[in-house]
């Protein structure tokens, strides 16, 4: 997978921000309803802020613990630290998404694997977009992340 890079203003200087990070864990199909839009927004922001905090602190234990069981079984906190090294090394913060409203690029749905798909973006500044693809599995009685794709860049960038 090619990673795209974009110019990103940070603390008065320009830095390269990683554009794509991907984790995927297959899940067994389970029947569950699509959560209401306000619940989807909570899930998106919670997942992205947990991801953000892990990258900024270097501590991936909470991120790993928040994931669905099949994900936790496959990825240790140390493995997550390795996977998200580009974000952590660049100190890329996506914190401004907490004040934004997500724009969904696809209607939320449960696919044939039983995964809840939440895909969209936040325009957090005129030239700063956080695009996300978050897939969730029903795990331990609630929707928990199994896929995290985050792209930081300019609106309209591929």
Residue 104 C-alpha from the chain's centroid? 14
Residue 44 forms part of a structural domain: yes
Residue 158 forms part of a structural domain: no
Residue 147 forms part of a structural domain: yes
Q: Each residue of 24-39: pLDDT tens digit?
A: 555 555 557 899 999 9
Q: What CATH number should be reported for the domain holding residue 73?
A: 3.10.450
In this prediction, residue 70 carries a pLDDT of 87
8 Å CB contact between 73 and 126: no
Residue 21 forms part of a structural domain: yes
CA separation for the pair 153, 110 (Å, rounded) = 28
Residue 48 forms part of a structural domain: yes
Q: Each residue of 98-142: pLDDT tens digit?
A: 999 999 999 999 999 899 999 999 998 777 899 999 999 999 999
CA separation for the pair 50, 109 (Å, rounded) = 23
8 Å CB contact between 63 and 51: yes
Band of pLDDT at residue 157, cut at 50, 70 and 90: low
Q: Each residue of 4-30: pLDDT tens digit?
A: 222 233 333 333 344 444 455 555 555
Number of domains in the chain: 1
In this prediction, residue 41 carries a pLDDT of 97
Domain that holds residue 126: 5-25+33-153
Q: Is the pLDDT of residue 149 over 80?
A: yes
Residue 103, burial from CB neighbour count under 10 angstroms (0-12, 13-18, 19+) = exposed
In this prediction, residue 32 carries a pLDDT of 76
Angular region, 147: left φ>0, alpha ψ -120 to 50, beta rest: beta
Q: Which residues, at least 6 apart from 22, have a Cβ–Cβ distance to it below 8 Å?
A: 1, 147, 148, 149
8 Å CB contact between 149 and 21: yes
Q: Is the entire prediction scored with pTM above 0.85?
A: no
In this prediction, residue 20 carries a pLDDT of 41
In this prediction, residue 90 carries a pLDDT of 87
Residue 115 forms part of a structural domain: yes
């Amino acid at each position: 997978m090619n990673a795209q890079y974009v110019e990103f203003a940070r603390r008065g200087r320009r830095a390269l921000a990683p554009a794509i990070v991907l984790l995927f864990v297959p899940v067994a199909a389970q029947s569950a309803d699509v959560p209401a839009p306000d619940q989807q927004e909570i899930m998106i922001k919670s997942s992205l802020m947990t991801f953000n905090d892990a990258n900024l602190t270097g501590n991936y234990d909470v991120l790993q613990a928040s994931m669905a069981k099949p994900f936790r079984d496959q990825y240790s906190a140390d493995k997550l630290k390795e996977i998200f090294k580009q974000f952590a090394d660049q100190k890329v913060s996506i914190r401004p998404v907490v004040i934004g409203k997500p724009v969904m690029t696809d209607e939320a749905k449960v696919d044939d694997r039983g995964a809840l798909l939440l895909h969209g973006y936040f325009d957090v500044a005129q030239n700063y977009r956080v695009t996300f693809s978050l897939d969730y599995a029903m795990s331990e009685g609630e929707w928990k992340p199994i896929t995290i794709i985050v792209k930081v860049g300019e609106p309209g960038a591929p």
